[in-house]
Structure 1
Amino acid sequence: MTTEPTARSLPRGSLGDPHLRRLVVGQGLAAVVDALFLIWLTLFVLELSEPGIATGFVLVAVALPRAVLLLPAGVLVDRLDPARVAVAAAWLRVAVLLALGALVTFTSPSVTTVALLAGLLGAADAAYFPAALALLPAVVPTEQLARVNALVQGAESGGDLVGPAVAAGVIAAVGFDATLGGIAAVAAVAAIALSTLIRVTRRGPDAKDGEQLSSARALGAGLRYAWHEPLVRGMLAAIALINIAVVGPVLVGGAVLADQRLGGAGSLGVVLSGFGAGSLAGSLMAGWRPPARRGWTVVGGVAAIGAGTAGLAAVTHVVAATAVVSLVGLGSAFLGVVVVATLQERVPKHLLGRVMSLVVLATVALDPFSYAVAGALLPYGTTTLFLVCGSAVLACAGLVAASPVIRSLR
């Protein structure tokens, strides 16, 4: 009897394994595409209309379907196969980018048309993100999960760091249509690399969805598992609180801080580049030498983020602010690699798509709440904003340290 090759029958050697290389190339390039396209989209909408509501309208058109469809997409990933869902979403991204490119090249699209296509891209993202995270354990040997996660997240951090300058420079040199064509070409290479993985991933004996639950009941089963499993519940709560307490204060409060204390709004770009550099360093550190005592590493990562956020209350110079924000970026990226790799190892495979959709939801869908927190605290001054939010994250570090399940992680 012949058997299909599976991820677990693949060589467990170094990252020289071709399947691992294709995974890293595919997911890494997809992360770079995300960073470049967001800058392209923002600049293109600004070209179509005056700054203000139109830009916000288009960005909401991307974010809303992504947030709404994330949890149903997690069910789809578990019901089908993470490789197939990731590949389908990757090719949908390519199709949307090509359609948008044709419109930009041959017509003068309205803001509404751009927003509709951007919404399709957000829907593709909703399927791609949890599928990509659930795909890693199906291809990557357990002992290399942290390293591969670090490489993929490092590509994302690198894209965030250099993406604005690269996208703006290329647009200035060759125009919006040619730049979008280049982004679509990179997305196609990513989709091709991921497509080669479909034949080497198969659902193993761990995949119990012979239960054939309805979609609603399957989603409920995933939510119940996440709530009743202390490790998953604790890590999701920490991720959510950090995003609410950090994203808005750093972006919104950072802009006010730059204007009031750091020499002008232009210094905000320098400070945020420090966050990108810290994120890149944190990702690479987490992959280069995965921590032996993960539990205390999680505690330390949360504490570093809290200390950095609170430290912004005292900075008066752009160099100090950049250094402090770099610490926040380093802690966030290091923590992200450790948390995701831990969940990929420990969550049952038939629930992994749903749990990863919750991770992505806690990471990207809570930004509006974070901006609301920043807006509510800013009238009391940036010092109060950063102290309150930093203290909340430090308190979260204490709660994480008090959890025996997380504290004892190895």
Structure 2
Amino acid sequence: MTAAVLAAAPSRPAHRDPRVLRWLGAYTASTLGDSVYHLALSWAAVRGGTPAEAGLVMAVSAVPRALLMLGGGVVADRFGPRRVVIASDGARCLVVLALAALVLVTAPALWVLAAVALVFGVLDALFLPAVGALPPRLAARDQLARVQGMRGLGQRAGAVLGAPLGGLAVALGGPGGAFAAAGALFALSLPLLLGLRLNPLPADAEARTGKNTALGDLADGLRYLRGHRILGPLMIVIALSDLGFVGPLNVGLALLADQRGWGASGMGWVLAGFGTGAAASSLLLGVKGRVPRAGAVLGPTMVLGAVSIGALAHAPLLPAAVLLALSVGLLAGLSGALAGALLQTECAPAYLGRVSAVASLCSLGLAPLSFPLTGAAVGLWGPGPVFVVSAAVCALSGVYALAVPALRHAELPRG
């Protein structure tokens, strides 16, 4: 068969590709394990200390995750994302199972829980860039948007099912039982990951791997990102959207629900609306597989999502807030999946780990720094102005995406 015929041959749909499904199963199991672990850790910390001490334990893992994320991207590119994902997930499994055994025989001191959280943060800094670099090594470029949709469904499943599963494990076996359940879920991902076979890197990318020092590799990756006409602006879009989005959803929503008198159940309904919208957008992308003129769609969905965020704080009744949250989830889920698909299709394979690390750093390292600022601002001025300012930051990301011609005209590959 000639090269021209091979190039014209349609690629296998991602939802029918055994390698992609194996990766998705491993990713979903790992996401579930992560949710159960965090619930068990918070429960053990609350039982072992004051609320302030428990909050400190939960925050410890963010420090190494933020400081080491870029280094994790270098490791993923040097040693291959599959190896790094297997090693980091295996280490998380062993650490959590060891903590489960300890909790079952004694009540660990808070410093022990904080040490585990610290180790987990280091492992997350390795795991997150590597798992983001895997899809382009498994699926054809024209299937990466569909893979992003499938990944979004896995994330939603972990978030929606992880909390009740962790609560059930705590109810049946205490924190020790919940840690054991988290370890079992991490262990479940390992045989699926071990069975993965990745597409080889292009010859030129393979030749560049590991030729510099680690710092040289990092500087090379940042230069590549800064000079790329689409990826550079895309990172600014991701950073701005996350900075405006995560504060209201993670901190402001709880304060809004308390002020409106909706209570914890009302906040749960609003979060359920958001989760439903995000799952629907992921399902749409997973089924459709491609959105025409992805760059042109990215900006408007961010702007419309920002309008919904700003309106959420002014919803007088709970049903209206749930509908607005559904809109936020649908639009933010679609724009986030499109940004992820553009990142993976535009990035050269040799730089995937480092570019994924920068994106993860924006989302999970820098954006959470807005949490205390959001809480303090809501305390001073109320949720309305804070949500509007946050929405303006989100809208700015969409306007910027439309203002950069290369990003506005970016397209996902055709199937």
TM over 0.5: yes
Give the Cα separation in 2 of the matches to 1:396 and 1:28: 29
Secondary structure of 2:132's counterpart equals helix
8 Å contact from structure 1 (residues 222, 354) kept in 2: yes
Give the Cα separation in 2 of the matches to 1:307 and 1:389: 10
Q: 2:409 maps to what in 1?
A: 408
Give the Cα separation in 1 of the matches to 2:351 and 2:398: 27
AA aligned to 1:297 is V
Q: 1:367 maps to what in 2?
A: 367
Cα offset, 1:63, TM superposition:
1.4
Q: 2:21 maps to what in 1?
A: 21
Give the Cα separation in 2 of the matches to 1:304 and 1:244: 16
Q: 2:334 maps to what in 1?
A: 334
Give the Cα separation in 2 of the matches to 1:108 and 1:159: 28
Query: How many residues align structurally?
Result: 400
Q: 1:391 maps to what in 2?
A: 392
Q: Given the superposition, is the C-alpha separation of residues 210 and 126 from structure 1 closer, same or farther in structure 2, using an over 3 Å criterion?
A: closer
Secondary structure of 2:230's counterpart equals helix
Runs of 4+ in structure 1 off by over 4 angstroms are none
Q: 1:292 maps to what in 2?
A: 292
Q: 2:119 maps to what in 1?
A: 120
Q: 1:5 maps to what in 2?
A: none
Q: 2:200 maps to what in 1?
A: 202
Q: 1:70 maps to what in 2?
A: 69
Cα offset, 1:81, TM superposition:
0.8
Unaligned runs of 5+ in 2: 1-6
Deviations 1:36-79 (A, max 9, x none): 221221122112223x2222221122211111111001011111
TM-score when normalising by structure 2: 0.91
Secondary structure of 1:311's counterpart equals helix
Cα offset, 1:210, TM superposition:
4.9
Secondary structure of 1:366's counterpart equals helix
Q: 1:32 maps to what in 2?
A: 32
Q: 2:4 maps to what in 1?
A: none
Give the Cα separation in 1 of the matches to 2:209 and 2:390: 45
Q: Given the superposition, is the C-alpha separation of residues 17 and 246 from structure 1 closer, same or farther in structure 2, using an over 3 Å criterion?
A: closer
Per mean C-alpha deviation after superposition, the further-off stretch among 127-136 and 41-50 is 41-50
TM-score when normalising by structure 1: 0.92
Matches within 5 A, 1:137-152: 137-152=136-151
- Give me the identity figure in percent: 30
8 Å contact from structure 2 (residues 243, 370) kept in 1: yes
8 Å contact from structure 1 (residues 249, 374) kept in 2: yes
AA aligned to 1:391 is A
Q: Given the superposition, is the C-alpha separation of residues 107 and 174 from structure 1 closer, same or farther in structure 2, using an over 3 Å criterion?
A: closer
Give the Cα separation in 2 of the matches to 1:190 and 1:201: 20
AA aligned to 2:203 is P
Secondary structure of 1:406's counterpart equals helix
Give the Cα separation in 1 of the matches to 2:91 and 2:282: 28
Q: Given the superposition, is the C-alpha separation of residues 365 and 108 from structure 1 closer, same or farther in structure 2, using an over 3 Å criterion?
A: same
Q: Given the superposition, is the C-alpha separation of residues 319 and 130 from structure 1 closer, same or farther in structure 2, using an over 3 Å criterion?
A: same
Give the Cα separation in 1 of the matches to 2:106 and 2:243: 40
8 Å contact from structure 1 (residues 262, 316) kept in 2: no
Give the Cα separation in 2 of the matches to 1:71 and 1:210: 16
Give the Cα separation in 2 of the matches to 1:173 and 1:44: 14
8 Å contact from structure 1 (residues 130, 357) kept in 2: yes
Cα offset, 1:294, TM superposition:
0.2
Deviations 1:109-141 (A, max 9, x none): 111111111211221111111111111111112
